[in-house]
Every structure is written in C-alpha cells, then in structure tokens.
Structure 1
Amino acid sequence: MDLGLRGKVALITGGSKGIGLATAISLSHEGAKLAICARNLEQLEEAAAKITDLTKGEVIFVQADVSSEEDCKRAVEQTFERFGRLDILVNNAGTSAAKPFEQVGTEAWRQDLELKLFGAIHCSSYAIPFMRQAGGGSIVNITTSSAKTPPASSLPTSVSRAAGLALTNAMSKDLAADQIRVNTVCIGLIRSDQIEKSWQRLAPELTWDEFAKDPRHDIPLGRIGNTEEAANVITFLSSEAASYVTGTSINIDGGKGAAL
C-alpha cells in the first residue's frame, strides 16, 4: 500500500531514540523528509546518521528542549526553513515519571506538565500555520494506556498524558475544517531504555526474550512490544491511508489496557 508520504515533511520530538527514532526511520522509508529534535546533541547526530544510512532519506536535527516554548518555536521554524513545508508533527518527547501522589512535589508536577503537555501544545501551535499553508496535515500525540485507567503510583505521568488525550480530542474538532487531523497513540509496555533498566534491575538472570514474555507483565499477547510496532501505527496515522481518521486514540499495549 502506498501511504502517500513521499515528499511530505515530518517533525518528530524526542526523535533521537526509542519510539521517536523508530518512527523517523519508518517515515523516511516511506519517502518523508524529516526533522528530529531532542536535548542530547550527540544522540541526535547518531540518530540522523542512522536514519540516513538505513533509508538514504533527507533528515536534519535540531537540539531542543520542548519544555521551552522558544525551543519548540525554533524546531518548527528550522524545519520549515529547511524543507519549505510541514505536514506531520509527532509529539513524542517525554519521560516516564511514576510515583505515589504524596511523593510528587510541586516542581516535579511542573516539569512533567511542561515537557509532556505544554511541549505538545507549543509545538502544535507553531506547526499549525504551516500545515494550513500546506492544505492540511497530521498531528500525532504520544500518550500512554495509563492515561485512560491510571493505576496507583502512576503520577505525574498518568495525569499529564490524560491531559494529552483531552487535548487531542478538542484539537481534532477545532482543526478539522483545515484538514489537520489530530490523533493519539496510547503506549503500553514497549521496549525502551527504561524497560531495559527494569529488566536488569528485576531479572538480570533472564534473557530479554524471557523477560519480555514473563507472565507477570499480564499482557494478553504474551510479550512486551518493540518500537517498530509502535512506529508502524504512528506512520499509518500520519499518512493519507488514515485520511478519515481524527480525534481518536489507539492502544499499542498488546491488549493490556482496560479501556478502548
């Protein structure tokens, strides 16, 4: 299937590793031109080189902290300056922060909301005029399954991600007339630096495959997912194949989530 991504331009925040990098590679394989941004310059350089090596596609990188509105503005503007358009924004930047309510201080709340919620708000705000200019576009916000049914000790992440769900739904209604689609994917257990650290801390005697399939994870599909599986769904939502899909959320969690 031709996803209609050839010549499109995508900006991916948190694009230097994990799901962001896998999404960048997937979009580049489909012919999209890319800008990736993250805080770590060395990781950005390595990621850009990997994307170019694997796909031969066009990619630039922008060192940026999306907790800063000014950095969000700069990342969007540099993308447009390089490629002359912007069609796709993947708001992926974020880290996991999960503690009981009484252990989360005011500064931790502020930092989490600025990174995950306001980062998406600011990047979207600066990207939307360029998408209008292009005749439409796609915004994909990365959230989590825990945003729908927060477990204990999941703060502040579950709250900032739940706000991302509301943001997605409301934005999709406001921007539909401009043919700008807004969707979210709700990530469950996907292999990442954090998951690998948990593996080494909790069960270093197991191989990765053994840990990934451990019944204690309680995943109906029987294993932890990989970044490429998440990237495939994000790429679909970014593409013309999803031209009639907006305002929705898709769980990428192996069936573990308790809510649709």
Structure 2
Amino acid sequence: MDFGYQGKVAVITGSSKGIGRETAEQMVKLGAKVMLVARGEEKLIEAKEALSEYGEVDYVVADVKQDASAAHIIEQTIDRYGRLDILVNNAGGSFAKSFEEISISDWEQDLDLKLLGAVRMSNAALPHLKKQGGAIVNLTAVLGKTPPASSLPTTVSRAAGMAMTKAMSKDLGKYNIRVNTVCIGLIRSDQIEKKWKKEAPELGWDEYARLDKHNIPLGRIGDTAEAANVITFLCSDLASYVSGDAINIDGGAGHAL
C-alpha cells in the first residue's frame, strides 16, 4: 500500500520522544524527510541518530512559544529540504488544576504553548504548504470535548485547538491543505509511566495498563505507536478526503459523539 510519503517533507514539533518521535519514525520509514523539533538538544540528537537508520532526518532546537522560533524552524526546513508538505503540531504537556488554583500566568503559559504554538507554526508553514497542498495535524486531548472538574487550563487549550482545527480546515481547503486533530486519551508516556511507578510499582506495565480503574472499553492504556499510526494515516495520501475532523485515540473511553 502506497501512503504517498516519498519525496514529502514533514515538520513535527515535540518530536524528541513519545508520540512525536514515533510519528517521525513511521513517516521516515515510509519515505518522508523529517525535521524534528524540541527544546532539548540531547534528546533530539539521540532521536536523529536512531531515525537516520531509516532515512533523512534533521533537527532544530526551538521553543514554539516564540514567533521567531516558528519562523526559524520553517526556514531551516526549507533550506535543508527545499519544500514542506506536512506539519504536526505536537508540542505540549499536561497541566491540570481546579479553577480556583490557577493563576493568570498559568492560563497564559498553557494557551501560549498548546494553542498559540500551533498557530505560530501553522502561520509560518502556510506559505510553503500553499504551493502544492499538504496536511496539518494538531494534537489535542479527548478531555477537551468533555472537561471534568480540576482539568483546567489544559482542557480549555485543547478545546480551543479543536475549534481552531475546524475553522482552519474551512479556510485552507481551497489550497488543498487538510487540517485535522487527534484527541489523545490514555497513551503510554513519561507522565503515565511516572504515575504507574508511583501508584503500583509492584505491577508490570501490562498489568498496570489493564487495570479496571482506567475505565477504557478496550481494556488497556494505548501505546505511542497506536497514536502515531493515526497521525501518519491522516498526513498520508490515503486520507486525501479527510479534513476538519477530531479523531479520538482513546480505546473508546471518550463520552462525546
């Protein structure tokens, strides 16, 4: 099956580890050239060395909370590879408290990274994507659809990312640019592993991942590769008629339609 990645160029933020790195690996194996982006150079060097076994990979050390950094990332990509076809906005983290606990600074920092970081990157990428069309995938979260108590500000940032994705897809479709979001549920990550080791260090990962308390219909926490599979599909030619969607990757745990 041809995913159409040969000759394509992708920029993936937050790609030194986790879902971002796994997505980069899948795309490189399918023939894409990938620019890795993160704030820590040591992890980026490790990722580049590992992924270069499969194809062309480079990296940029940058913080997407800065306008100049977003422009620099795209400039470096164009200088290195000559084009841009795919942007995966994956930079972010989890920060959740009750409304009364959150300072204005907390709100500003969360929105600046998760929402405006994607805006900055998309703005910088747009002139190049318009040349031949392409794909943007924004990573958000399932809880952005149904925010529980004490989930602020992250669920607000993610809900805003979903709304932005839908609006962008309407505006950019005329350029054959598809924009989608994947809504992440419980997926194995550094944060989830820390929780596992704190809550149940006596259990192996498979045992912990299958605990009933996670309330996942498929019965387990997901793997990073399973999230990357969906992102890789959405950025591929196989998803050429998919745009404006918010797709859950959560084992069926979400409650929204």
**Aligned to 2:172, which of 164, 171, 175?**
175
**Aligned-pair CA distance for 1:195:** 0.2
1:94 aligns to what? 92
Aligned counterparts, 1:14-163, within 5 A: 14-53=14-53, 55=54, 57-133=55-131, 135-163=132-160
Counterpart of 2:130 in 1: which secondary structure?
Answer: helix
1:230 aligns to what? 227
Aligned counterparts, 1:158-237, within 5 A: 158-237=155-234
* Cα distance in structure 1, aligned partners of 2:96 and 2:209: 21
State the percentage of identical aligned residues: 60
Q: Deviations over 1:189-238 (max 9, x none)?
A: 00000000000111111111110000000000000000000000000000
* Cα distance in structure 1, aligned partners of 2:25 and 2:157: 27
**Aligned-pair CA distance for 1:106:** 1.0
* Cα distance in structure 1, aligned partners of 2:42 and 2:56: 19
* Cα distance in structure 1, aligned partners of 2:67 and 2:159: 21
Kindly indicate whether residue 256 of structure 2 is the aligned counterpart of residue 254 of structure 1: no
Kindly indicate whether residue 213 of structure 2 is the aligned counterpart of residue 245 of structure 1: no
In structure 2, list runs of 5 or more residues that go unmatched: none
2:5 aligns to what? 5
- Equivalent pairs counted in the alignment come to 257
Letter in 1 for 2:72: R
In structure 1, list runs of 5 or more residues that go unmatched: none
TM-score, normalised to structure 2, is 0.99
* Cα distance in structure 2, aligned partners of 1:179 and 1:130: 12
TM-score, normalised to structure 1, is 0.98
Letter in 1 for 2:12: I
* Cα distance in structure 2, aligned partners of 1:152 and 1:51: 40
Q: Which moved more, 1:214-223 or 1:201-210?
A: 201-210
* Cα distance in structure 1, aligned partners of 2:37 and 2:11: 8
- Indicate the RMSD between aligned Cα atoms, in angstroms: 0.6
Q: Deviations over 1:110-169 (max 9, x none)?
A: 111110000000000010100112x10000000000010011111111000000000000
**Aligned-pair CA distance for 1:77:** 1.1
Letter in 2 for 1:247: G
Letter in 2 for 1:105: S
